[in-house]
Structure 1
Amino acid sequence: SEHGKGNALDVMSIELNNGDDIDVRKPGLFAFRTRGFLNNVRADGCEYFTTVLGPGYNYDHRNHFHFDIKNRKSGYRACR
């Protein structure tokens, strides 16, 4: 696990500068309002991390983003 090596982190909530909180764990009724933001988090994260997994990828990542810096052959990046 990249977590065990200190190369990964999981993000379940993001606090914005204006004090609003985007909770990835509870999309709720108005999830469509934050969907674009969360898609940007995923895309922007792929610029810095070699692995970005999050809601919509699989059941295990339904409620958080996983970011890691695992080195892979040929510079492969997993952005899902």
Structure 2
Amino acid sequence: MHEVILAAVTDGSAISHTVVVICGNLLLAVLAVKGLQLSFNEDFGKKISFLGGAVFCAVFVWIPDQAKGLVTDLAKVISS
């Protein structure tokens, strides 16, 4: 009569990944709006530094495994 659906017990990594992707995409949307606001301004230095920060953020949101590997490799090079 009644169906019972049981959810599998997880370690939370899938939920964590989903939350990070959603929040990261929201942050990038806010950065896009701010970038459009800066594009109407004449300060070229702010545009360039803002674009660099947005790209840095996007790399960590969209390809986190490769970004983690890159940062790990850079840390190894700097520490040696």
TM-score surpassing 0.5? no
Larger Rg, first or second structure (1 or 2): 2
* Structure with a larger share of its residues in strand: 1
TM-score by length of 1: 0.32
- Larger RCO (alpha carbons 8 Å, 6+ apart): 1
